[in-house]
């Protein structure tokens, strides 16, 4: 675990591996993993008003309105654990307004990592993805299949994980990503079309580089 509470954004198309990598990063560095997709799905599950509104957008693959997501995330970032341990944003910002909302609130990320994966591979990952509701683990029926039949029998598929809805989600991603990138410095592209461990190794190199710079600056003071 690090003593440096960094703020990191992980961006990338649907199924580019953001959730998979964020779990590993949070485990290694202790940053708080904030996935707006998971937060919205939890709001749906709990029957909260936000969830009721979000559901119809998410089921069709389109983005939830900015104001709802921005309020939800800003509130969460104000909590003590994010200040103490640092944060890892997974799936936010997804529009220029969301990026501007961060900057206007003086929330400045130390690093923005974008996972690049070609479209045909993204579709393969979407349709093969399964989630374990007990452990929260992300599986893929070919690339990382469940360990045994017991786990396999309880896996669920997200309602937006069809090829048709993935195309709508991809379109939203391609529409916004360039403008989002332009709002920040410290943007690094990572080739996400490799084994998960290799992708993680590059991410660790980038995070360690930022920590080292921060450490050197602190020790100079």
The residues that are catalytic are 18, 94, 129, 158, 169
Rounded to an integer, what distance in angstroms lies between the CA atom of residue 138 and that of residue 120?
20
Task: Copy the structure tokens of residue 205.
Answer: 């190199």
Q: Which of 100, 162, 186, 196 binds ligand AP5 (CB under 6 A)?
A: 196
The answer to whether residue 176 forms part of the interface with ligand AP5 (CB under 6 A) is no
Among 61, 66, 104, 108, smallest CA distance to 86 is for 108
Residue 110 beta carbon to ligand AP5: minimum distance, rounded to whole angstroms = 19
Residue 180 beta carbon to ligand AP5: minimum distance, rounded to whole angstroms = 10
Q: Tell me whether residue 157 or residue 186 sits nearer to ligand AP5 (CB atom).
A: 157
- Quote the distance between the C-alpha of residue 20 and its chain's center: 9
Q: Which of 119, 143, 154, 174 binds ligand AP5 (CB under 6 A)?
A: 143
Q: Which of 2, 97, 144, 157 binds ligand AP5 (CB under 6 A)?
A: 144
Residue carrying the six token digits 């991603």: 173
Q: Which of 91, 102, 114, 207 binds ligand AP5 (CB under 6 A)?
A: 91
Residues 2-61 touching ligand AP5, rule: CB under 6 A, are 12, 14-20, 36-37, 40, 57-58, 61
φ/ψ of 69, rounded to 5, equals -70, -40
**What per-residue string of b and e applies to 6-22 under the rule 16 or more CB within 10 Å gives b?**
bbbbbbbbbbbbbbbbb
């Amino acid at each position: 675990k690090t003593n440096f509470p960094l703020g990191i954004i992980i961006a990338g198309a649907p199924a580019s591996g953001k959730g998979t990598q964020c779990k590993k990063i949070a485990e290694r560095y202790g940053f708080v993993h904030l996935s707006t997709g998971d937060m919205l799905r939890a709001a749906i599950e709990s029957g909260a008003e936000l969830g009721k509104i979000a559901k119809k957008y998410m089921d069709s693959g389109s983005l939830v309105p900015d104001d709802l997501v921005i309020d939800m995330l800003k509130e969460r970032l104000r909590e003590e654990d994010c200040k103490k341990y640092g944060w890892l944003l997974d799936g936010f910002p997804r529009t220029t307004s969301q990026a501007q909302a961060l900057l206007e609130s003086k929330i400045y990320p130390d690093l923005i990592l974008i996972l690049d994966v070609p479209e045909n591979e993204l579709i393969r990952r979407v349709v093969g993805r399964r989630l374990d509701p007990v452990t929260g683990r992300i599986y893929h029926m070919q690339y990382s299949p469940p360990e045994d039949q017991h786990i396999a029998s309880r896996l669920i598929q997200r309602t937006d994980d069809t090829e048709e809805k993935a195309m709508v989600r991809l379109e939203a991603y391609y529409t916004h990503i360039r403008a989002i990138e332009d709002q920040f410095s410290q943007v690094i592209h990572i080739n996400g079309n490799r084994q998960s461990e290799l992708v993680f190794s590059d991410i660790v190199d980038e995070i360690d580089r930022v920590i080292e710079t921060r450490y050197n600056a602190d020790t100079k003071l």
